[in-house]
Each structure stands twice: as C-alpha cells, then as structure tokens.
Amino acid sequence: MQLMLQHCFFIGKGFSLTLKEDGARGLAKGWAPTFIGYSMQGLCKFGFYEMFKIFYSDMLGEENTYLWRTSLYLAASASAEFFADIALAPMEACKVRIQTCPGYANNLRQCAPKMFAEEGVWAFYKGVVPLWMRQIPYTMMKFACFERTVELLYKHVVPKPRADCTKAEQLIVTFTAGYIAGVFCAIVSHPADSVVSVLNKESGSTAVQVLKKLGPKGVWKGLVARIIMIGTLTALQWFIYDSVKVYFRLPRPPPPEMPESLKKKLGLTE
C-alpha cells in the first residue's frame, strides 16, 4: 500500500512538473505519433492474431488445437506482434524523442524529417529489437492469459453457459478477463519498456548498455503505475474489440470445448 501511494505521489509530481514547464499543452506532447503508431500496431496485432490462430490451428488439427491451445495462443500472438512492432517502431521512436528531448521537436512533422536527416532510416528502427523484447512477451501474455481467463470465468465463475448470457454480460466477462490479462502483461513487459524509453532518448546507446546503467532496481521503477495503466488499457482494448465484433455481427467463437473424437479416445463418452 505504501509503495502504491509513493508511485501515485510521483505520478502527481510528474503531472505538476509537466504543467509547470510546458503548460497544459505539455500533457498532449507526442499525441500524433502515439495515436498513429498504436492504431497501426493494434490493427496489425488483432488482425494477424486471428489469421495466425487459424493458420496454426489448421496445421495442428482439431484435437491437437484443443490439447495445445495455450501454445497456439502464444505462437499466434508472438507471430502477430512481430509484424505489428515493425509498424509501431517509427512512431514510437518519434514519440519518445518529442517527449524526452526538450527543444528537439514540437510535433511529428518536425521530428520525423529531423531524425531521418541526422541518423537515416536506422533512427526509426534502432529500438525495434528492444520493442520486440517488450511487446512480444507482453502480447503473448495478453492474448494467452485473456483466452484462458475467459475460459475459466465461464467454467467456474459465470453461473450459466456463455450461450445463455446476454451480450452485455459477455462483454463484462471480456472486460474482466482483459484487466486480469493486463496486470500480467505489465509485469512481464516492464523491464524491456524501461530499456526502450532510455534507448530512444539517448542516441548512440545500446540495449545492453542501458540495461547495465539501470540495474536490477531501475528496470522495475514505476511498475505499480504501469500495472494500473496497462490493466485498464488492456481491458478497454478487449472490450472495444469484442464490442465491434458484436456490433458488426462478426464471428465470436465460444470458449473451446474438447472435440467429441478426443472424448472417445480418452473414454469420456458413454
């Protein structure tokens, strides 16, 4: 509790300092690359996840898809995030440079050409490997934890089958599972997130150098605040994603059930 209060104090202090130095406008610094980058990343992440999930499922077959479903979620999400981060990296680099280097650039239109002129294309992708280090474990946890949490909630918490739940009740389950997944995501990805932030701020540094500089304690600084932020963000992402599916009447497969053929093999049918 004391640690959480300390983190809340530092968050408040950060807001106060930003307002004092840059005014209300400072809070919106880097909004354009953030919006564009994470929109592109989200589109690629969720789209490629569905595609890779079907692709790997077809490779495994119905029975193995059920038996190895957690591995399937992990592989599909890792594959999707690999490509999603390539879309995100340039905007993430611009965002960090705008937010952490005072006077460098005020917006994306100024920042991107200046970075390209000084360092070339590499300026936008030098953080892609640390980004993979941060985002791939994050996304693997996000999707696998979400899928299994939904399955467990319907099995042990929700008092009726998913088919009997209203759309609103299903969306509440989605939001809850999303928040739980977000907490684990924040913990898994936080050390790499700390490295990426410093790496994009300091030109010429490598991930290994930054990691040594931060040390074991430095990479975990700000974890509580990140858990609150990522938990809420992840829950909202899943809620919005599922709501869009409901609105457009897109397929929303129920939690996986053991195939009849597998039940027969295991002697679970009468």
Q: Return the minimum-mean-pLDDT range out of 17-31, 35-49, 147-161.
A: 17-31
With a CB cutoff of 8 Å and minimum separation 6, the contacts of 198 are: 205, 210, 213, 214
> Helix 223-247 to helix 128-152 angle, to the nearest 10 degrees?
60
259: in domain: no
Nearest by Cα to 67 from 256, 267, 243 = 256
154: in domain: no
Nearest by Cα to 231 from 174, 266, 189, 186 = 186
Nearest by Cα to 84 from 137, 116, 41 = 41
My answer on whether 177 and 242 are in the same domain is yes
My answer on whether 175 and 117 are in the same domain is no
9: in domain: no
- Alpha-carbon torsion 50, 51, 56, 60, what sign? positive
My answer on whether 131 and 187 are in the same domain is no
The pLDDT score that the predictor gives to residue 256 is: 92
Q: Of the candidates 111, 141, 171, which is a domain's last residue?
A: 141
My answer on whether 170 and 233 are in the same domain is yes
1: in domain: no
Q: Provide the strand spans (E) within the chain.
A: none
pLDDT at 65 over 80: yes
* pTM to 2 decimal places: 0.76
191: in domain: yes
Q: Of the candidates 141, 171, 195, which is a domain's last residue?
A: 141
Domain encompassing residue 58: 19-141
pLDDT at 268 over 90: no
My answer on whether 185 and 214 are in the same domain is yes
My answer on whether 61 and 99 are in the same domain is yes
Residues 99-137 pLDDT 10s:
888 888 888 889 999 999 998 898 899 889 888 987 898
pLDDT at 62 over 90: yes
Residue found under tokens 């953080």: 127
Nearest by Cα to 101 from 83, 118, 88, 84 = 118
My answer on whether 23 and 135 are in the same domain is yes
Residues 71-87 pLDDT 10s:
999 999 999 999 999 99
My answer on whether 29 and 126 are in the same domain is yes
Tell me the H-state helices in the chain.
Answer: 2-22, 24-27, 31-60, 62-67, 69-100, 108-119, 122-125, 128-152, 167-201, 207-218, 223-247, 260-265
My answer on whether 174 and 134 are in the same domain is no
Q: What is Dmax (Cα atoms) for the chain?
A: 73
Residues 159-192 pLDDT 10s:
998 989 999 999 999 999 999 999 998 888 888 8
- Taking residues 206-232, report their average pLDDT: 86
10: in domain: no
My answer on whether 178 and 88 are in the same domain is no
How many structural domains is the chain composed of?
A: 2
260: in domain: no
